[in-house]
Structure 1
């Protein structure tokens, strides 16, 4: 039975409204008085409308909101004005969710009040400080404290801890801070302050959180060992937790699961939660992080941080063709070991050879066993210096080549830049089967011998470069292996793979099997599509309009890290083509080591790479121009712009209310000049984000009404954009929190000053799992509820159709006379099978019965998401869904002309349009571009169409 759970529920909701503060508004229909008692008197309902006990309480004040207009709070705008006076050409980019700046550029000369600093330091940062560095810390302290309102930090000195201090070859100073609150780290939150050669602040970047004031105590209520048990129990249900081989465990410094107290910003919403971050390595492949609520024990989030995937993702070519190589090895008592001790990072005094080398390049053998099974690892040896295993020869030679690249080109002393041993493990299997993969596990590179998609991977030069770069990234930007930051992690490994293996811009062309990769390469930076179709092995997106949204789960590739890396990869290829590899590799290495932080997104990458080009080649250089053109070409925009001036008071302006990516409510003008994040409660949505409650606005445009995540009626008073307040009505229809959707009567009014309210609501509570074919009318303030059964009259006298299971989207026409609603219908057949479909109907409040709004649709066609015109009751926009093809069309019906118009057809325009809404004068329509609707929730681009043309 087809339910259309995903197809006919709104993904993004746009309602055009007008804030009115004394200016004239478009002509609107005359209001119709509405009295709840009249519903029970309507003859057309045949007495079916029944009063119910009101389970809804009075209107209550919830909280004062902190709206962000064009990304900024009132306090931030005040601080920004001061910064702009000191540096008029400054540029600023704000994190859309948190409202904190993730990039600022300008020039601010700070005079520190003292040459000493009050920042706390990590042990590694303390070791990096040199004579004279204390004044740099003092400058950073003065700057951060002076402009803390813009940063949304209450006390930067107490909330930031110096993690790394570096003076680069250009004389620029870079102070990297980690965020803490009451001594507890805020997960993956970093901020970098950059000083120029004259000690002026020239940039600030990073992803961090506003002060988590919601955390009132950092004392855990469950112990660390309990959090470890919760994580281990969950993980063991998907994979055995085994002991690790001693050499790798020693390099990883892993003695078993650990728990560290952190403040974890919830994914998507940013809500701070005190949590235990539990790290569990069940085997040598996987590296899991669990976040367990430190008060309740709830599993908040988990992910596998190992850069690997279930299908071939990081494997590269291998020579394995008998070619002879000169190898640096180690001889002891007549036996030759595959340990390279000739590199400048080798530490002879600390090494205990052959089993514990320090600063060596070490190749060891799994001998066709799973690393997951705690197997013993073996030395690769030879009695006479001739090694007969081609995989070991290739792996050892290639890791040497990659080490030499990083050391000679970038001065890097190994993966961690501290001279640690670099380990390669060959002949690794997966579940006792040949492994079509290669991966970096935090301490070693592991290579399978190939299976379905690959030939043996150990000899691929770009394999070694890719995997080693994962290690370099781990010790520099430490890009979180999720979604965009994880795709950047993958992209950086691909970019440096083609810097080491400089023959072309392809990945894996030496080792893939053409039966699996028909193009002969796994990835191609220059041509991410490779002439393939979406979903084919080897296809990647080349532009942001092809971005693939996937869940942050192992099945979803941690949010598409191996898929979406094609977009920044393509930008890198364009830069290489424009300025060459020599300049590009300098730019990318500086961006990776100097500017990128753990949670960097694609926009951060563009800004970081552009800033690195600016540092190295100048503000007007061809190199910087090449970077900007490349990222423009792939649709990664530069969000760092001159900050906006404070907007004028919005008087009589049109806004579109919409549900933001974090499920809170936003307001945006049709031209995009003003975008307001209200900071409201979350709108009700299901866990997948596919079903989101409708927004509703009365005639005066001063309030926005919605079903919140608690299933109760909430509304925001937006009469003063700088002083928004949220209110709620406690309760529900049959039980507290059971409201799914509602629409507010057009003449509903509210006074925040007196908290007086007048109006009505029409409410639905049914779902697929709990059908309810009724609409419930509630007066405001709530005193009674009237239940109205929804039935469609038939041609038989006194006979109604009762196929409606429940209703979803509802809209009240501006004069209050009519409600339009879509309904999920179930028709039982004699065979016992059921036919299901969506349609929409009209409910004339002054008559009482429902009427079909459209003629019967062909089999396989459903219609829903109806929206009245703002002025014309005879104009209705809606969505039509073809179940057979999945095509979503945007249509409108003009009852005056008895005509149906197709406004957007994916087969013609190339995209679908979702959740239409009319402007106050019906001359324009807003809707969402849903070409990626099936990829993930909350995708879409707001488009505004001119209906007069």
Structure 2
């Protein structure tokens, strides 16, 4: 703390006496504590009285400690802006800071009320627990204020200045004329101006603020200015001394009797049909055969409009036509209550006649309304009844427009969507979402193609735009206006876009927005891996070789924040963090130690009748409780970037509020923000020992980090008895003389300290389970009965006990011995489950300390079906429906299926049931590969970079000559690569040769480049079948069956482990030929017996 008074440290000391665990965040620019969290007061009153006493209790606290949060007399310079009680019973108060001129500038007193002027964006919030304890107080107030300018501009001069500013802009006269026809007489001003004190670039400026029309520079999709201009409605701030407009923040963010009834309609997806049918809440007009897309079953109406590409109903002429009902609501006039009109072709006329986007926009808005209502405990639409009238009318509808005319393209054939709020001629707020029609003819074969169909057909895109309105209606200024200002290339715009990606994806549970409406399989952005070079956002723009791109540079770490100021590039940092908490995945950063930080999903819960990701509750509470009172933009980028840190602190507080301090949810939220570089400045995270768990826990990140892991095994817990490292334990029965040999498997365990402090006294304990037996978890021992413990000792911050590059040559220091005693008489075991648990004396997160590997091996037996009996079980306390998913990258002629009919099966608590998986393997796979080819790659690269390469090749296409796909992997000790491969495949030797292009990140330095490399390697296609048991669509356990197809000889072939679990070593120095033949015969007999076991005996999915 540098900007601190002599008295403030003393006050902090007094607060720490009340609560030694106080958490304080300091704002160096404002000279105040931006947040103080702890038990700040004693319990006050019974909950029924809390709302009444919260305000006086807040002011009483400020009488003593107010100088920590603003000027010494802060309690007298605050006015209550709003208060509410949330779904946890907490009470939240939001105050606005005012400044009293005390005789300065006499003319000023004539322009303000009560001799006080609003310090714009400067707020204080107090948060009270149910028992009356003041739990947290936040401040964006200013400690030291002085006026830095004189009033020289009045309201009439202001109107003249703003009129001149738009006079020469294209369309200015037409806009003014049409607005006057609608009754707006004060163009370009749409709201009565008011005088505020605005903190801007280190000064306190007297400024006029209003909503009105202004001119912006048009940007291309990459955020670069094109040289053109256009008029937008926005929030205006003008220096009251000089007349300079220093902020213009557009409000538009891109991207009779009616009887309730129900109907249906066809949606946009899947592209090409058959299209999904949506159930719709509609209204009937009088007793006619006309029905409308208007849902009146909620506290706010939801209405879908058909703008029919009419330029009169486009931005910025839309507010009064929406208010007076000129724009038609989407209708069915045939009386069948069905919206099923489809385009007959791809002409503009036919495209705008389709009812599909109207159906989806309407349906998804209803789903979003109900989703947010569940998140909040109760939320009425966008405004939630939190705003005065005027400017926000009561019962503000949720309005959505489709087939919207785009003035820039002169048609509705535009790949865009936006959220907007503005004002009618009478100053009434109107809010709506708008969706263009996309371009069904684009194929990415031409430069600048945008191959996306109707934008309203993507749930994540609709959710993104819906959240823009939620964000705007989470903020309120001193005049009761909603809105968080949005100026391109600023941190506040990045917050807007980041939050819309966060909630759009949490709502849709789809982290690849737009992928579902892309005819060429492109996502708009990839929130699982924002740096993915093959998204619409990140592909090059205006490139004659690569179409469908915007030339963005989406980021996933806060340290990269200044590499691009574009809001979409910065916003993905927040969205990727939400992905880590909600979906679970791995954050990869080549310049960081550790390179990989796994973060596992905190799961889901049913809240207010909705099954919702827990992460959504945390982010929603962070926004509406802890973030909605942040200060306005200061024009100081180093200070405005703290908006991201404020969101982080809000999420951590929200996780603690909802789920408890040190809970799984609380610890995981802290870890996720640490992974993306948003841990509080000047503090340490601590030591955190963990593993890369089985692939099912991070499957969505798997294609982007170059590590091939089965769904139900971990690359950090494996066996290597010579050759490749995999998961096959060997059971010794007898040697060639018929005697037990006490064979010991070698188990390796990689422990990752993802923290920033050394982990002390790191130990790993091991357990195994014999699948199909009631033995439970047993401790791993060596042949002498010694319990195996891996003592690592001190593990350096960010390091593992051995690197990922040593997967197939792990050090002995990372191993333990595992002796499996001979099976008892009648005991049958198909395979084993192996588990490891790590501990450390100073581990800050004990929720990620366990890893498990389950796998069964199947030999490649062409023409002979392989059968694997397995057991499903219900580990829960309530009855569940049996839900199984069998999937795997198998060739077309292969078949994997469950023999039994599982439809309608329900399992009681602890109930088990036997099922059977069969795999049909046609001959020829070991002679010539068949599609699919996705799999592991090992070989070498050469060119500007050279060396051994190991990774994955996925999303492969092959025309019989050329092989293309996504290549991700690592060069030993050099760095990581993600990009595309194009080349040849020898289907007989499995060898690939070709060119790799993409992004390379250098280990240690973080320097990146876009090399063109040669690649020669062996491609081993995955032949795995993952059997997953699910509850409510989420996997709870499973096993992987690995079909071991022999790799043909080529320069990059590697040795595979055996498929059987039995070993019969040859007798040392055996010279007796008959004895040798006997040993071979015994071995063959044992293999036959093993085969009978494999094809007849059940295995459990998991222990």
Could you state the TM-score of these two structures normalised by the residue count of structure 1?
A: 0.51
Q: CA 1:426–1:111 in 2, change beyond 3 Å: closer, same or farther?
A: closer
Distance 1:640 1:403 in 2: 40
Task: Output one character per residue of 1:73-99: Cα deviation in whole Å (capped at 9) or x when no partner.
Answer: 323223222222322221211223222
Q: CA 1:165–1:372 in 2, change beyond 3 Å: closer, same or farther?
A: closer
Distance 2:668 2:379 in 1: 26
1:224 match: 155
Distance 1:613 1:907 in 2: 34
Task: Output one character per residue of 1:838-877: Cα deviation in whole Å (capped at 9) or x when no partner.
Answer: xxxxxxxxxxxxxxxxxxxxxxxxxxxxxxxxxxxxxxxx
2:338 match: 386
Out of 430, 434, 437, the residue aligned to residue 446 of structure 1 is 434
1:371 match: 314
The alpha-carbon deviation at position 445 of structure 1 amounts to: 0.2
- For this pair of structures, how many residues does the alignment match? 529
1:592 match: 623
Out of 554, 558, 562, the residue aligned to residue 544 of structure 1 is 558
Query: Is 1:196 matched up with 2:129?
Result: yes
The alpha-carbon deviation at position 272 of structure 1 amounts to: 0.7
Distance 2:560 2:619 in 1: 24
Q: Secondary structure at the match of 2:87?
A: coil
The alpha-carbon deviation at position 296 of structure 1 amounts to: 2.8
Query: Is 1:340 matched up with 2:289?
Result: no
Distance 1:156 1:98 in 2: 14
2:514 match: 508
1:93 match: 25
Bigger drift between 599-608 and 231-240 goes to: 231-240
The alpha-carbon deviation at position 909 of structure 1 amounts to: 5.0
The alpha-carbon deviation at position 569 of structure 1 amounts to: 1.0
Q: CA 1:413–1:173 in 2, change beyond 3 Å: closer, same or farther?
A: same
2:531 match: 529
The alpha-carbon deviation at position 155 of structure 1 amounts to: 2.1
Distance 2:306 2:682 in 1: 47
Distance 1:249 1:620 in 2: 58
The answer on whether the counterparts of 1:79 and 1:150 sit within 8 Å (CA) in structure 2 is yes
2:868 match: none
Distance 2:416 2:181 in 1: 21
Query: Is 1:565 matched up with 2:571?
Result: yes
Q: CA 1:463–1:153 in 2, change beyond 3 Å: closer, same or farther?
A: same
Q: Secondary structure at the match of 2:53?
A: helix
The answer on whether the counterparts of 1:481 and 1:561 sit within 8 Å (CA) in structure 2 is no
Out of 388, 395, 402, the residue aligned to residue 368 of structure 2 is 402
* 1:21-60 aligned within 5 A: none
The answer on whether the counterparts of 1:287 and 1:304 sit within 8 Å (CA) in structure 2 is yes
The answer on whether the counterparts of 2:304 and 2:402 sit within 8 Å (CA) in structure 1 is no
Task: Output one character per residue of 1:19-48: Cα deviation in whole Å (capped at 9) or x when no partner.
Answer: xxxxxxxxxxxxxxxxxxxxxxxxxxxxxx
The answer on whether the counterparts of 2:22 and 2:37 sit within 8 Å (CA) in structure 1 is yes
Task: Output one character per residue of 1:293-345: Cα deviation in whole Å (capped at 9) or x when no partner.
Answer: 11332323323242226xxxxxx986674433332222224252434243231
Out of 254, 263, 267, the residue aligned to residue 197 of structure 2 is 263
Structure 2 portions without partners, runs of 5+ = 101-115, 216-229, 256-266, 322-326, 342-354, 386-394, 422-430, 440-448, 476-482, 541-548, 585-600, 605-612, 632-641, 685-1001, 1009-1103
Distance 2:19 2:183 in 1: 51
Distance 1:288 1:640 in 2: 38
Q: Which has the higher contact order (CA 8 A, sep 6+)?
A: 1
Bigger drift between 190-199 and 334-343 goes to: 334-343
The answer on whether the counterparts of 2:189 and 2:212 sit within 8 Å (CA) in structure 1 is no
The answer on whether the counterparts of 1:93 and 1:639 sit within 8 Å (CA) in structure 2 is no
The alpha-carbon deviation at position 528 of structure 1 amounts to: 0.5
Q: Secondary structure at the match of 1:329?
A: strand
Q: CA 1:534–1:160 in 2, change beyond 3 Å: closer, same or farther?
A: farther
Distance 1:640 1:366 in 2: 55
Q: CA 1:512–1:258 in 2, change beyond 3 Å: closer, same or farther?
A: farther
The alpha-carbon deviation at position 215 of structure 1 amounts to: 5.9
Distance 1:523 1:176 in 2: 35
Distance 1:305 1:153 in 2: 33
Distance 1:907 1:229 in 2: 58
Q: Secondary structure at the match of 1:564?
A: helix
The alpha-carbon deviation at position 408 of structure 1 amounts to: 3.6
1:809 match: none
The answer on whether the counterparts of 1:438 and 1:447 sit within 8 Å (CA) in structure 2 is yes
1:421 match: 397
Structure 1 portions without partners, runs of 5+ = 1-68, 116-128, 310-315, 347-358, 551-558, 643-905, 913-949
Q: CA 1:168–1:529 in 2, change beyond 3 Å: closer, same or farther?
A: same
The alpha-carbon deviation at position 228 of structure 1 amounts to: 3.1
2:86 match: 168
2:119 match: 186
The alpha-carbon deviation at position 104 of structure 1 amounts to: 1.1
Task: Output one character per residue of 1:883-941: Cα deviation in whole Å (capped at 9) or x when no partner.
Answer: xxxxxxxxxxxxxxxxxxxxxxx9995669xxxxxxxxxxxxxxxxxxxxxxxxxxxxx
Q: Secondary structure at the match of 1:394?
A: helix
Distance 2:181 2:331 in 1: 17
Could you state the TM-score of these two structures normalised by the residue count of structure 2?
A: 0.44
The alpha-carbon deviation at position 523 of structure 1 amounts to: 1.2
Q: Secondary structure at the match of 2:4?
A: coil
Distance 1:248 1:493 in 2: 33
Q: Secondary structure at the match of 1:414?
A: coil
Query: Is 1:308 matched up with 2:251?
Result: no
The alpha-carbon deviation at position 378 of structure 1 amounts to: 2.7
Task: Output one character per residue of 1:715-736: Cα deviation in whole Å (capped at 9) or x when no partner.
Answer: xxxxxxxxxxxxxxxxxxxxxx
Distance 2:154 2:506 in 1: 47
The alpha-carbon deviation at position 286 of structure 1 amounts to: 3.5
Q: Secondary structure at the match of 1:521?
A: coil
* 1:390-789 aligned within 5 A: 390-410=356-376, 411-418=378-385, 419-431=395-407, 432-433=410-411, 434-442=413-421, 443-451=431-439, 452-453=449-450, 454-477=452-475, 478-482=483-487, 483-502=490-509, 504-512=510-518, 514=520, 520-532=522-534, 537=550, 539-548=553-562, 559-576=565-582, 577=584, 578-581=601-604, 582-597=613-628, 598-599=630-631, 601-639=643-681
The answer on whether the counterparts of 1:549 and 1:560 sit within 8 Å (CA) in structure 2 is no
Distance 1:247 1:506 in 2: 44
Q: CA 1:327–1:281 in 2, change beyond 3 Å: closer, same or farther?
A: farther
